[in-house]
Chains A and B, each alone.
Chain A
Amino acid sequence: MMYNRKYNYMKTKQHFYNHIFFYIISFFLLVTIFNSFYRFIIKNDYIVYYEDKCDPYTESCFMSCEADSCIYYKKIQKYALNVYTECGNNITNCYQASVCLKNDKNCSITYCNLNIDSNCEFINNSRIQNN
């Protein structure tokens, strides 16, 4: 019986060494999958970028025109968890998504800079807001 136990142990050890590559890879894969799931699905630990409506009369807006119609937008970057907490899954028609609140992490609103981008639209001379 002692011999059988020792034999099984040696066999298991040999099996492990022969397949060590796959065991290590599998371990780290599992850890990564868990880590990724936790970060993105549970914690929403990432930044989101989106383009929000912009009023060219009051703000310096980016412009995108197709045919005869043009869209004016500003670029917003915010921490996903904050946006999710404030607006849920859908950020359309959500005021909090369009502004940087006091507690917002990594929040920035980028307006079009006439000195950099020629495709800007600023109908009135309002100040550019930056947080």
Chain B
Amino acid sequence: MICYSFTEPLYLIFSPDLPALFYYSHIVTAIVAIFVGFFVLKSGKKLLLNRLLFAISICFFFWVVSNIILWTNIHSNIMLFVWSLLRILSSMMSILSIYFLYVFLEKKDISFFLKGIFLVLILPVIILAPTYINLSGFNLATCDAFMFEGGLFQFYRVAFGILAMLWILILLIRRYHKADVNFKKQILLVGVGIELFLLSFFIVTFLAAYFTKIGLLPDSRLEYYGLFGIIIFVIYLSILTVKFGAFNIKLLASQALVWGLVILIGAQFFFIKITANFVLNGIAFIGILIAGPFLIKSVKKEVNQRELLESLTLKLEQSNSNFAEANEKLKGLDKLKTEFVSLASHQLRSPLTAIKGYISMLIEGDYGEINPKAKEIVDRVAESSNNLTLVVEDLLNVSKIESGGMKYDMVKFDFSELVNNTAKDLSITAEKKGLKLTHKIDMSHQYFVDGDKEKLRQVLINLIDNSMKYTEKGKIELDLDNQDGKITLSVKDTGAGVDPEVEDTIFEKFSRGEGAKLNASGSGLGLYLVKEIVEAHHGRVWVESLGVGKGSTFFVELNEVK
């Protein structure tokens, strides 16, 4: 039966009796609700929180659609059918809001018991909604069913709505106290949003219906304003999503802004009656549709770059941390190695000293004459033990330097005297190898230095020994000069030379150039020790060579002391 005082709407929902605000408040909010619902669901189909929000938005959407039908339709049977559903939908929104909040706060589904309680509360509304307990008739004169609504059912429904709001409030307060600072902000956003939504929706729709029923209002148009509660809710959810990434959505503020503007400006078309305003609104709408995507794209690009930079920085920090850790481990290992070398060398020293002592006694005939063949072998043993002693000494010195235990006994002495004596001592060894060792000292200068005589003697021995090892034939020349307070000793040989590629690394530990093929007995530490000792005396050492096979000249520079 049709309501005889009202006219059929145009295109099913457009009634001339209703103001533009009706359509603005209903259509815009329905679009916003369904859009947000699907957007959230799409972002996390398997997440319970997203599904619940979708369910709330769907209930709200259908509530709005039902309400549009109720306001525009004039068929009593259709209106009663929709009226019965309306009460169910508003109660569903309340119960789903409580469920939603539980899941949001606890980050997990609710217990079986709580689900049971929710069912017990909502099922009477669902089951009794289409019965006489809720709706017994329809008023064709006013085209509504207010006078035929069951008092008990309405009381239960209203009490249920109030209970839901109180329940949410208590839940929020209790959880807020236990939450950390970050989560407190999120609780506030969700809590305020959801309460404002329920409050505005429930109170206004309830009050509008109640005042209409008791005759205080001619109709329930007041409820239009309650629907804007969903906009408030969506705003709070948007802030939550943008700031905290809630619902597993990566939403930029610019996206939310552009979409909000599109909906807001687009909805104006229902409201505007003046042509000029319609045109201006259209221009603004088109502008947003064109400029909006560009804005979103550029902001997204910046955000992505910033995030990439942050992740790279994090990776870099992690790498640095790993490197630092590895470095510490290496330092530890290096220290252990140094200690081991020192210990091993000390352990080797004593037996070597004993070997050298007995060999020298044998050579000197303390145990009687030895035959020439045996003497030859004993001489070789003596030479090998001397070489081994040198290697052990080098190892010990290196371990002392690395552990910072090398001590220098600095005194003022004549360096030229040291060069002279050392050259004389080693010339015999050089002759045995078929090499000529000469030395030239410019006696017009002074050669006093402040240094450790023994260590500098070691430097000279290592340099000369190094030249002897890598020179098959020819000569080794020592040259000492003093220019402007810089005492320079050069050790020039006609040996294997130095490959320019390894010139920079020749003074490093265990570095042996091409010439290593000539000599297998070197430890690779001689020149390293030379460099360390000379640098400890504030001097410098370097090598010059024309290339492989073209000989080399080692230089040592020390500061003269007057």
Contact with A along B84-110 (1 / 0, CB 8 A): 110010001000000100000000010
| Most chain B CB atoms below 10 A, which of A20, A48, A84, A92 | A48
Q: Give the CA-CA distance A108 to B349 in the complex, in Å.
A: 129
Say whether B359 faces chain A, with CB atoms less than 8 Å apart: no
| Most chain B CB atoms below 10 A, which of A28, A40, A89 | A40
Contact with B along A2-31 (1 / 0, CB 8 A): 000000000000000110110011001101
Q: Give the CA-CA distance A107 to B2 in the complex, in Å.
A: 19
Q: How far is the CB of B530 from chain A (nearest CB, A)?
A: 77
Chain A residue nearest to B119 in the complex (CB): A24
A90 touches B77 (CB 8 A): no
A36 touches B139 (CB 8 A): no
Which residues does chain A contribute within 8 Å of B123, judged by CB atoms?
24, 28
Which residues does chain B contribute within 8 Å of A21, judged by CB atoms?
99, 115, 118-119
Say whether B39 faces chain A, with CB atoms less than 8 Å apart: no
Contact with B along A47-60 (1 / 0, CB 8 A): 11111000000000
B81 touches A37 (CB 8 A): yes
Say whether A96 faces chain B, with CB atoms less than 8 Å apart: no
Say whether A126 faces chain B, with CB atoms less than 8 Å apart: no
A90 touches B109 (CB 8 A): no
Say whether A35 faces chain B, with CB atoms less than 8 Å apart: yes
Contact with B along A61-82 (1 / 0, CB 8 A): 0000000000000000100100
A47 touches B138 (CB 8 A): yes
Chain A residue nearest to B129 in the complex (CB): A32
Chain B residues 122-140 with CB under 8 Å of chain A are 122-123, 126-127, 129-131, 135-140
Number of interface residues of B (CB under 8 A): 35
Which residues does chain A contribute within 8 Å of B81, judged by CB atoms?
36-37, 40-41
Q: Give the CA-CA distance A50 to B81 in the complex, in Å.
A: 19
Chain A residue nearest to B130 in the complex (CB): A36
Q: How far is the CB of A68 from chain B (nearest CB, A)?
A: 20
Specify which of A40, A48, A51, A80 is in contact with B84 (CB 8 Å cutoff). Answer: A40
Q: How far is the CB of B153 from chain A (nearest CB, A)?
A: 13
Q: Give the CA-CA distance A28 to B122 in the complex, in Å.
A: 10
Which residues does chain B contribute within 8 Å of A47, judged by CB atoms?
136-138, 148
Say whether A110 faces chain B, with CB atoms less than 8 Å apart: no
Q: Give the CA-CA distance A90 to B2 in the complex, in Å.
A: 6
Number of interface residues of A (CB under 8 A): 33
Say whether A99 faces chain B, with CB atoms less than 8 Å apart: no
Which residues does chain B contribute within 8 Å of A100, judged by CB atoms?
none
Q: How far is the CB of B117 from chain A (nearest CB, A)?
A: 10
Say whether B171 faces chain A, with CB atoms less than 8 Å apart: no
Which residues does chain A contribute within 8 Å of B453, judged by CB atoms?
none
Q: How far is the CB of B217 from chain A (nearest CB, A)?
A: 17
B138 touches A80 (CB 8 A): yes
Q: A33 with B136: in contact, given A48-B76, A80-B1, A83-B1 (CB under 8 Å)?
A: no
A92 touches B4 (CB 8 A): yes
A49 touches B147 (CB 8 A): yes
Q: Give the CA-CA distance A19 to B139 in the complex, in Å.
A: 41
B119 touches A40 (CB 8 A): no
Chain B residues 32-49 with CB under 8 Å of chain A are none
Say whether A113 faces chain B, with CB atoms less than 8 Å apart: no
B88 touches A32 (CB 8 A): yes
Q: Give the CA-CA distance A117 to B147 in the complex, in Å.
A: 18
Task: State the main secondary structure of chain B at its contact with A.
Answer: helix
Say whether B249 faces chain A, with CB atoms less than 8 Å apart: no
Q: How far is the CB of B94 from chain A (nearest CB, A)?
A: 13
B78 touches A41 (CB 8 A): yes
Which residues does chain A contribute within 8 Å of B2, judged by CB atoms?
89-90
Chain B residue nearest to A83 in the complex (CB): B1
Which residues does chain B contribute within 8 Å of A87, judged by CB atoms?
1
A46 touches B135 (CB 8 A): yes
Which residues does chain B contribute within 8 Å of A17, judged by CB atoms?
112
Chain B residue nearest to A37 in the complex (CB): B81
Q: Give the CA-CA distance A32 to B123 in the complex, in Å.
A: 10
Say whether B80 faces chain A, with CB atoms less than 8 Å apart: yes
Which residues does chain B contribute within 8 Å of A32, judged by CB atoms?
84, 88, 126-127, 129-130
Say whether B75 faces chain A, with CB atoms less than 8 Å apart: yes
A36 touches B141 (CB 8 A): no
Q: Give the CA-CA distance A92 to B5 in the complex, in Å.
A: 10
Q: How far is the CB of A76 from chain B (nearest CB, A)?
A: 9
Chain B residue nearest to A44 in the complex (CB): B77
Q: Give the CA-CA distance A29 to B96 in the complex, in Å.
A: 15
Specify which of A24, A31, A37, A48 is in contact with B138 (CB 8 Å cutoff). Answer: A48
Which residues does chain A contribute within 8 Å of B119, judged by CB atoms?
21, 24-25
Which residues does chain A contribute within 8 Å of B92, judged by CB atoms?
25
Which residues does chain B contribute within 8 Å of A44, judged by CB atoms?
77
B137 touches A18 (CB 8 A): no
Which residues does chain A contribute within 8 Å of B4, judged by CB atoms?
50, 90-92
A46 touches B137 (CB 8 A): yes
Which residues does chain B contribute within 8 Å of A49, judged by CB atoms?
137-141, 147-148
Specify which of B80, B126, B147 is in contact with A29 (CB 8 Å cutoff). Answer: B126
A80 touches B130 (CB 8 A): no
Q: How far is the CB of A26 from chain B (nearest CB, A)?
A: 10
Which residues does chain B contribute within 8 Å of A80, judged by CB atoms?
1, 76-77, 137-138
Q: A18 with B109: in contact, given A49-B137, A80-B1, A80-B138 (CB under 8 Å)?
A: yes
A48 touches B109 (CB 8 A): no
Q: Give the CA-CA distance A46 to B141 in the complex, in Å.
A: 15
A48 touches B85 (CB 8 A): no
Which residues does chain B contribute within 8 Å of A46, judged by CB atoms?
76-77, 80, 135-138, 148
Nearest 5 pairs between A and B by C-beta?
A47-B137, A36-B130, A50-B140, A40-B81, A40-B80
A residues near B (Cβ < 8 Å) are 17-18, 20-21, 24-25, 28-29, 31-33, 35-37, 39-41, 44, 46-51, 77, 80, 83-84, 87, 89-92
- Other A-B contacts than A49-B147, A91-B140, 7 sampled, CB-CB below 8 A, are A25-B122, A29-B126, A32-B127, A37-B81, A46-B77, A47-B136, A89-B2
10 A-B pairs (CB sep. < 8 Å): A21-B119, A24-B119, A25-B126, A28-B127, A35-B131, A46-B135, A47-B137, A48-B138, A80-B137, A89-B2
